[in-house]
């Protein structure tokens, strides 16, 4: 899932949408005629260095030729062409996290943030080569039960090649009504070839926070708080988990951010403030290099208890913000695998016709100014799982080698 800030705003895109909507489409044969209401305008964006004069006459010429001359008239859908033109404009930036969302894809995105949808339970992203990848399988979902792992590449969705799909397009293909089936072709690093995974969609209700009591080998009481996402419900669920933690009287805390793909920026600041007394949680850096600090914004209740943080390849974005701040302030050690490495911020904007857009507007940096994009956070205690250990964990749900190492670390 993209790391986003929720805002309302108007961009050049809205101006272009308004301009094109104002053009009258021909009827029946979809012919478009250049009329007085459709000027061939030149556009220059003064805010973009070296921006060239753009003449929209070519756009309208191609639109007319496709509308008038394409052989299958039933396939000529002005609405799809319109959305496709906008999507192509946004995709030309080459940033897989900056995307235009038609109505269905916008709806899916909102459902994911709200924490309930029908699908297979995969959080998607891109690897360093911009290939579609699993950021994290959600616990106890069809994807998780089928053995899909963080970092796995998605080669095909059904019979559709996934190479050129945007995130919203991929999400839209994978999701569907409960009880229906979808086949994914998956490649796992180190395998000789891809494998086909048949999944049955289900209702996915994503609980953000889970609390559990643990004991170290030397008998210390530990509160294990597993945070799976930063969504609309997270703050309230987190408060309940903190209350349970305090009531259990622990000697230490394990914050489990494994397979947490991120979410809302404010959520990361809220969670980080639980463990850090003062200072910056994260720095936002714009295209001019100007930095905006997001500081501790409340009095945390877990400021003094010893702690460690679990991360892995599926820890991304907002979860990396929290883990990075804890590491920078030496509040606790990071244990596990190098994290995913997503260091950009997207603004989520609602547009007319129930559409939307996510635009990358800034980088985020740790309090010490580290940009971990495509690098990830390096754990203080590296615990990479072997294939044999992964097999053991799959066969025995109670087996967790990284958690065992974290419990040992709290005895030191």
Q: Catalytic: which of 319, 328, 348, 363?
A: 328
Distance of alpha carbon 350 from its chain centroid, rounded?
Answer: 17
Separation CA 60–CA 98 (nearest Å): 25
- Do 201 and 177 meet the contact criterion of CB atoms below 8 Å apart? yes
Tell me if residue 33 is catalytic. no
For the question of residue 317 being annotated catalytic, the response is yes
Residue 319 designated active-site: no
CA distance 354 to 350: 7
Q: Are 165 and 132 in contact (CB under 8 A)?
A: yes
Catalytic residue among 226, 313, 342, 363: 342
- Catalytic residue, chosen from 208, 273, 317, 319, is 317
Write the burial class of residue 323 (CB in 10 Å: 0-12 exposed, 13-18 middle, 19+ buried).
buried
Among residues 96, 83, 111, the alpha carbon closest in space to that of 16 is found at 83
In 3-state terms, what secondary structure has residue 171? helix
Buried b (16+ CB within 10 A) or exposed e, 386-407: eeeeeeeeeeeeeebbbbebbb
CA angle 295, 300, 301 (to 5 degrees): 170
Dihedral of the alpha carbons of 60, 63, 65, 70, in degrees to the nearest 10: 180
Structure tokens at 84: 């496709």
The Cβ of residue 158 has, within 10 Å, a number of other Cβ atoms equal to 12
Residues catalogued as catalytic: 317, 328, 342
């Amino acid at each position: 899932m993209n790391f986003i800030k929720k805002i309302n705003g108007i961009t050049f895109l809205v101006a272009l949408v308004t301009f094109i909507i104002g053009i009258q489409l021909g009827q029946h044969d979809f012919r478009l005629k250049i009329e007085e209401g459709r000027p061939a305008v030149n556009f220059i964006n003064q805010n973009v260095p070296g921006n060239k004069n753009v003449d929209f006459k070519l756009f309208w010429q191609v639109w007319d030729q496709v509308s008038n001359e394409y052989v299958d008239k039933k396939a000529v859908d002005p609405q799809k062409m319109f959305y496709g033109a906008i999507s192509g404009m946004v995709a030309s930036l080459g940033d897989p996290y900056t995307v235009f969302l038609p109505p269905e894809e916008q709806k899916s995105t909102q459902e994911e943030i709200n924490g309930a949808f029908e699908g297979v339970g995969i959080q998607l992203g891109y690897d360093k080569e911009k290939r579609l990848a699993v950021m994290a399988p959600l616990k106890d979902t069809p994807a998780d039960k089928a053995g899909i792992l963080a970092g796995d590449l998605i080669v095909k969705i059904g019979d559709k090649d996934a190479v050129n799909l945007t995130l919203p397009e991929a999400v839209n293909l994978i999701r569907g009504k409960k009880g229906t089936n979808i086949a994914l072709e998956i490649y796992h690093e180190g395998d000789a070839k891809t494998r086909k995974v048949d999944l049955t969609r289900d209702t996915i209700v994503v609980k953000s926070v889970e609390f559990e009591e643990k004991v170290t080998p030397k008998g210390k009481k530990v509160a294990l708080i597993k945070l799976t996402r930063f969504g609309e419900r997270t703050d309230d669920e987190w408060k309940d988990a903190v209350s349970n933690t305090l009531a259990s009287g622990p000697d230490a805390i394990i914050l489990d951010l494994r397979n947490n793909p991120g979410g809302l920026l404010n959520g990361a600041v809220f969670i980080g403030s639980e463990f850090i007394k003062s200072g910056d949680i994260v720095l936002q850096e714009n295209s001019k290099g100007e930095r905006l600090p997001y500081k501790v914004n409340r009095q945390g209740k877990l400021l003094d208890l010893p702690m460690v943080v679990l991360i892995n390849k599926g820890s991304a974005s907002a979860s990396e913000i929290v883990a990075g701040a804890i590491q920078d302030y030496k509040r606790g050690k990071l244990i596990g695998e190098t994290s995913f490495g997503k260091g950009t911020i997207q603004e989520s904007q609602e547009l007319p016709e129930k559409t939307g857009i996510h635009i990358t507007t800034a980088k985020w940096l740790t309090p010490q100014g580290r940009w971990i994009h495509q690098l990830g956070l390096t754990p203080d205690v590296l615990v990479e799982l072997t294939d044999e250990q992964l097999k053991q964990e799959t066969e025995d749900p109670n087996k967790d080698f990284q958690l065992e190492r974290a419990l040992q670390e709290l005895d030191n």
